[in-house]
Amino acid sequence: MEIAVIGSNMVDLITYTNTMPKAGETLEAPDFALGCGGKGANQAVAAAKLGAKVMMVSKVGEDIFAENTVKNLQQYGVDARHVTVAPGTSSGVAPIFVDDQSQNRILIIKGANAKLSPADIDAAAEQLKACSLIVLQLEIPLPTVYYAIDFARQHGIKVILNPAPAVAGLDIDYACQCEFFMPNETELEILTGLPTSTEEEVLRAGRMLLGRGLKNLIITLGSRGSVWMQGDAVHRIDPTTVQAVDTSGAGDAFIGCFAHYLIQHGDIAQAMQSASAYAACSVTQRGTQRSYPDAETFQRFLTA
């Protein structure tokens, strides 16, 4: 394996609506889709679709969603032998509401993801040791995230930490042990308590975290592109402009693609440029994982 994703999987329950209901209001929505998601699984699938060798450490519930989740990972080429069942627990689910402006609102029920523990990392230790990169998010318990970071440090494995969903109590000292810390602007605001509405504000908040000892801070800014901050240097990556249909999972597409190209050639700026284009391609289709292009489709997008 090249990449290990230790993190969440979710069942996406996606409602497409023209208008979001007000409190106490019932509206008819034009469309619905059921899909597989979760930040960890999304990132694993994105990297695997591009050709990376990916393994995943995760938990599913003791319910009707579990078998489908594992099969879904396997069909995209993700090694799912360490995706195990948490007895007596539901799988994680994510009701997603997408409006006619392609903006989404998401609720997360962690379910079995809350049961992923250090023991699951130990059970996968031999495979994990052979990986070049570990990718983490925050839809699993923080002690498990910290344990994974300690494991990676002990075995000389680089780590990408995507602090999503943002947790104000995240121990930044652990983040500083990771090679890459990759929030979006909303998560950056929650983590620092500083506004991030403008580029100047984003950079100010970023410098605050860099002052704590972060190695590489990559901030995704949606339609405004992304920023890589390292020491005093700031590298801006312009967005790829498309007509968005559904922005669900775009940040995960970015991170999965970035991880793949980082492993391929190690050029951070170029990996970010590819990731920006990959995320843009994903928002031209509905859904999360199903919207992620494979390597051939992505190449056609780049050359169109």
Catalytically annotated residues: 252
| Total Cβ atoms within 10 A of residue 239 | 16
Gap between the Cα atoms of 33 and 13, Å rounded: 6
In sequence order, what are the residues at sequence separation of 6 or more whose Cβ sits closer than 8 angstroms to the Cβ of residue 187? 163, 164, 165, 166
Structure tokens at 231: 């020491």
Return the HEC string of the chain. CCEEEECCCEEEEEEECCCCCCCCCCCCCCEEEEEEECHHHHHHHHHHHCCCCEEEEEEEECCCHHHHHHHHHHHCCCEEEEEEEECCCCCCEEEEEECCCCCEEECCECHHHHHCCHHHHHHCHHHHHCCCEEEECCCCCHHHHHHHHHHHHHCCCEEEECCCCCCCCCCHHHHCCCCEECCEHHHHHHHHCCCCCCHHHHHHHHHHHHCCCCCCEEEECHHHCEEEEECCEEEEECCCCCCCCCCCCHHHHHHHHHHHHHHHHCCHHHHHHHHHHHHHHHCCCCCCHHHCCCHHHHHHHHHC
Question: How many angstroms separate the most distant Cα atoms in the chain?
Answer: 54
